Amino acid sequence: MNFASDNASGASRSVLERMLVVNSGPSPAYGGDDNSRNAQALLSALFEREVAAFLVPTGTAANALALGALTPPGGGIFCHDEAHVIDDECGAPEFFTHGGKLVGIPGVGGKVTPAALTQTLARFPRGVARQVPPATLSLSQATECGTLYTPAEIAALSAVARGAGVAVHLDGARFANALAGLGCSAADMTWRAGVDVLSFGCTKNGAVACEAVVFFDPAQAATFDVQRKRGGHTFSKGRFLGAQMEAMLEGGHFLELAAHANRAARRLADGLASLPGVRLAFPTEANEVFPIMPARAEAALKAAGARYYPWATRSVAPDLAPRDGEVMLRLVASFATQDAEVDAFVAHVSFALHVRAAP
């Protein structure tokens, strides 16, 4: 019963096996290898246009380098006020943007709205050398609350950004889960909706360590290889990144893995929501579930050795927020989550609630 993080799972066996396959013989170093090249071609196919894609080993590297490519030194980066880039990357975005300022925008369910974005941008007038100049909007898809933007919602936010001369980055650490959740095309969710650069995550979804920074306009990527190398993120044995991406993309393997995780989350959400005294803080649209439950139920889970994080957030709607004696949890399903552990988890909660309700 490990729902602590999708990062707690290992890698899809197909990914590791592909790494063994590409191991034999010499291969050009520093990204000149066939596998990296092929990965780029597969990404172009997925996105239905020629993209410039750069493989890196971590999600933090992908986000920070992507923001660095879009943001001049010291520029303003706008994101949800609980986004991963503002809260969980230890200052990497500030480092790679040479002192950029991340400006948080509050919003229910982890989502930024066009109105809130407009209002925040208004605090940063151009032509006044006092506030940092707005440079980039960073959206998370799926969000930190496991919710999704529709392509239309992304397009509306991009339009506001564009109107303010602000570029658009999509943090797709859980992009595959979003794609599986929405059932739309990768192109619809990105460049057709105004996204400039995407952090395309594979690690949480079953890679060993592999993400792609995807530029939909290759011209914007002119010096990105230099920035990647300067960040220490260019693999000398590039084939081992290329192979991971190949294994994920070929035959839509990444989508199968994500769909599995989403189904597990759905099963978990349905099971929990059916229990009296349990409610969900956010709709379950990808692979994360945020139940609110009586503290005694959570105590039972802890006693049973279940793994998860208790969760504090300013994103929950006031009428849904935890009350005294209640606890909110974050539960993350992965490609490796099994129905049995989902069902066991729900059963523990159910049992705890009924036992206590007894006398």
Q: Within positions 156 to 175, which residues make up the interface with a copy of itself, using CB under 8 A? A: none
**CA dist., res. 244 & res. 201, Å (int):** 12
For the CB of residue 11, give the shortest distance to a copy of itself in the complex, in Å.
6
198 in contact with a copy of itself (CB under 8 A): no
For the CB of residue 208, give the shortest distance to a copy of itself in the complex, in Å.
5
Binding segment for a copy of itself among 35-43, 127-135, 256-264, 286-294 (CB under 8 A)?
Answer: 127-135
Q: Which residues contact 69 (CB under 8 A, 6 or more apart)?
A: 197, 213, 215, 220, 221, 224, 227
For the CB of residue 201, give the shortest distance to a copy of itself in the complex, in Å.
10
Give residue 43's identity as a one-letter amino acid code.
L
Provide the 3-class DSSP secondary structure of residue 136. Answer: strand
User: Which residue, 200, 352, 358, is CA-closest to 278?
Assistant: 352
245 in contact with a copy of itself (CB under 8 A): no
Q: Which is nearer to a copy of itself, 16 or 156 (CB)?
A: 16
Q: Which is nearer to a copy of itself, 48 or 95 (CB)?
A: 95
2 in contact with a copy of itself (CB under 8 A): yes
92 in contact with a copy of itself (CB under 8 A): yes
Footprint (CB under 8 A) of a copy of itself, residues 268-297: none
Binding track over 5-24 against a copy of itself, x by CB under 8 A: x-xxxxx-x--x--xx-xxx
Q: Which is nearer to a copy of itself, 74 or 114 (CB)?
A: 74
In the block, which residue shows the tokens 């400039």? Answer: 196
Q: Which is nearer to a copy of itself, 246 or 294 (CB)?
A: 246
Total residues binding a copy of itself (CB under 8 A): 76
CA dihedral over 240, 241, 243, 247, signed as positive or negative = positive
The maximal CA–CA distance of the chain, rounded, in angstroms, is 71
**CA dist., res. 125 & res. 332, Å (int):** 40
Footprint (CB under 8 A) of a copy of itself, residues 24-83: 24-30, 56-62, 64-65, 68, 72-74
Q: Which of 119, 230, 274, 303 binds a copy of itself (CB under 8 A)?
A: 230
- As a three-state string, the secondary structure of 244-272 is HHHHHHHHHHHHHHHHHHHHHHHHHHHHH
4 in contact with a copy of itself (CB under 8 A): yes
- Count CB neighbours of 95 within 10 A: 14
**CA dist., res. 155 & res. 159, Å (int):** 6
Q: Which of 43, 67, 102, 268 binds a copy of itself (CB under 8 A)?
A: 102
CA dihedral over 345, 351, 352, 354, signed as positive or negative = positive
